[in-house]
């Protein structure tokens, strides 16, 4: 092959968006926030693999102390965007806790969380847990197995405390879902009492993710709901046992999102598309070739500037396994999903599920119409930005046309009963009918008055 032909072949092989026409960026120096969890991976990968730079973006990533600090940073402009709890843009937009119009053009992942209990609670639960033929627990484990333990605490006048990471976190709604599915009351919110503990059998309170294991070890909480690597950390430290993953509660449930203010998106439309392109590329890289890049991702995430946990701990779930007790390591190829199953597409139905849980537990204090749920979801989740970014990647040869739901109306097919731990299907088009189908939680015209549910 002559030199000219070799140069042409090399150029074609290594073509990147940097060689394509870059968008006319309104802002090219950006600072993004994140919390030290493995599901911040698309941000770390986009940075380390040069995907942001390919789009002409010069990005700084900054770990944040907690979710409130992170949200405040995005609202006041110290951060241009952030790895967020899916409930944060929705809650801010409807004015729960704070008021700001936050949008998301990119869903960061599916699954990735679990519920862990202390060794002491696990020993008390075990007699109520069905076993497999090999003597190991049959998963998923219902909260009904914990109900007698909670009742014993109640009889002795001892509060049964568990941790979650933030009032509008997936983890809060997941642990509430799990408890209610097992017949336990997780408590309600009201405008006058935002503790979320009205009428509770189990008292849930906020604990920052990295502090979960030590807080449980100290006996302050009996268990917690959190993302990785902090469930596997409890196993490696020998202080607790994960009893259920969120994949086993709701197969391929939505998790974190990337949040920016609507003002930022309106003022910087090309920048919003460019950053979404970089994040989509990172998600593709994380899942491509049957997770072939996950070990490299583990090495990146284990660095102190990102998650900072031992690579061995991070690798357990990131490489397709999950360990419930030492030695009880099970295959979990979809524990962390970043791109397949349209994981990155911001579906309205995902947003509506979060809003339904806010209504279910009283964070949305008054009844709302189905139309309100749908319009609120559409004001926050922005598939239009996502699809414009995806189209550009396909045109640049950096993504495959068939990998994106171009014709979606924003709603997933209803979740079948078999995919949910309580056997109750979910259809985002009919949120009020869904709320009516749940045995525990607010529905219809019900509201919280004092410590009572009233119609």
pLDDT digits 0-9 by tens, 75-95: 999 999 999 999 999 999 999
pLDDT given at position 7: 38
Residue 10 has pLDDT above 50, yes or no: no
329 and 323 Cβ atoms separated by less than 8 Å: yes
From the number of C-beta atoms within 10 Å of its C-beta (0-12, 13-18, 19+), residue 437 rates as middle
pLDDT given at position 15: 44
pLDDT digits 0-9 by tens, 131-189: 999 999 999 999 999 999 999 999 999 999 999 999 999 999 999 999 999 999 999 99
- The CATH architecture to which 3-111+255-346+382-403 belongs is 3-Layer(aba) Sandwich (3.40)
pLDDT given at position 21: 76
Band of the pLDDT at 6, cuts 50, 70, 90? Answer: very low
How far is it, in rounded angstroms, from Cα 186 to Cα 97?
Answer: 20
pLDDT digits 0-9 by tens, 278-311: 999 999 999 999 999 999 999 999 999 999 999 9
From the number of C-beta atoms within 10 Å of its C-beta (0-12, 13-18, 19+), residue 215 rates as middle
Domain spans of the chain?
3-111+255-346+382-403, 113-253
For the domain made up of 113-253, the CATH class stated in words is: alpha beta
Please, what is the average pLDDT of the chain?
Answer: 94
Same fold? 3-111+255-346+382-403, 113-253: yes
> Which residues contact residue 340 at a Cβ distance below 8 angstroms, ignoring those fewer than 6 apart?
287
Is the C-alpha dihedral spanning 257, 168, 304, 119 positive or negative? negative
Residue 5 has pLDDT above 60, yes or no: no
């Amino acid at each position: 092959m002559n030199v000219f032909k070799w140069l042409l072949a090399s150029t074609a092989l290594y073509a990147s968006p940097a060689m394509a026409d870059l968008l006319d960026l309104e802002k090219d120096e950006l600072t993004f926030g994140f919390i030290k969890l493995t599901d911040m991976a698309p941000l770390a990968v986009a940075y380390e693999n040069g995907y942001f730079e390919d789009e002409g973006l010069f990005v700084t990533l900054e770990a944040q102390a907690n979710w409130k600090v992170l949200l405040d940073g995005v609202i006041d402009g110290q951060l241009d965007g952030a790895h967020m709890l899916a409930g944060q843009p929705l809650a801010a937009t409807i004015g729960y806790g704070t008021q700001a119009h936050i949008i998301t053009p990119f869903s960061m992942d599916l699954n990735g969380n679990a519920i862990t209990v202390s060794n002491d609670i696990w020993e008390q639960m075990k007699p109520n847990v069905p076993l497999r033929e090999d003597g190991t627990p049959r998963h998923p484990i219902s909260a009904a197995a914990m109900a007698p333990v909670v009742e014993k605490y109640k009889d002795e006048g001892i509060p049964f405390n568990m941790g979650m990471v933030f009032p509008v976190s997936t983890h809060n709604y997941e642990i509430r879902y799990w408890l209610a599915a097992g017949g336990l009351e997780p408590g309600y919110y009201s405008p006058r009492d935002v503790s979320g503990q009205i009428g509770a059998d189990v008292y849930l309170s906020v604990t920052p993710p990295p502090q979960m294991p030590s807080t449980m070890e100290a006996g302050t909480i009996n268990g917690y709901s959190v993302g990785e690597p902090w469930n596997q950390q409890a196993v490696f430290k020998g202080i607790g046992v994960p009893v259920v993953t969120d994949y086993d509660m709701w197969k391929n449930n939505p998790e974190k999102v990337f949040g920016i203010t609507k003002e930022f998106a309106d003022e910087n439309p090309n920048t919003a598309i460019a950053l979404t392109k970089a994040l989509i590329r990172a998600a593709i890289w994380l899942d491509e070739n049957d997770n072939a890049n996950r070990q490299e991702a583990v090495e990146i995430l284990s660095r102190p500037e990102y998650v900072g946990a031992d690579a061995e701990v991070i690798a357990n779930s990131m490489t397709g396994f999950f360990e419930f007790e030492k030695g009880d390591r099970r295959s979990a190829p979809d524990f962390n999903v970043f791109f397949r199953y349209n994981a990155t597409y911001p579906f309205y139905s995902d947003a509506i599920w979060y809003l339904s849980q806010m209504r279910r537990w009283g964070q949305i204090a008054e009844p709302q119409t189905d139309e309100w749920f749908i319009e609120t979801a559409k004001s926050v989740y922005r598939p239009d930005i996502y699809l414009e970014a995806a189209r550009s990647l396909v045109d640049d040869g950096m993504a495959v046309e068939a990998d994106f739901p171009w014709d979606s109306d924003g709603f997933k097919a209803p979740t079948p009963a078999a995919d949910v731990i309580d056997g109750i299907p979910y259809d985002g088009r009919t949120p009020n009918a869904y709320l009516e189908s749940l045995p525990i939680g607010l529905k219809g015209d019900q509201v919280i008055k004092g410590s009572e549910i009233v119609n």
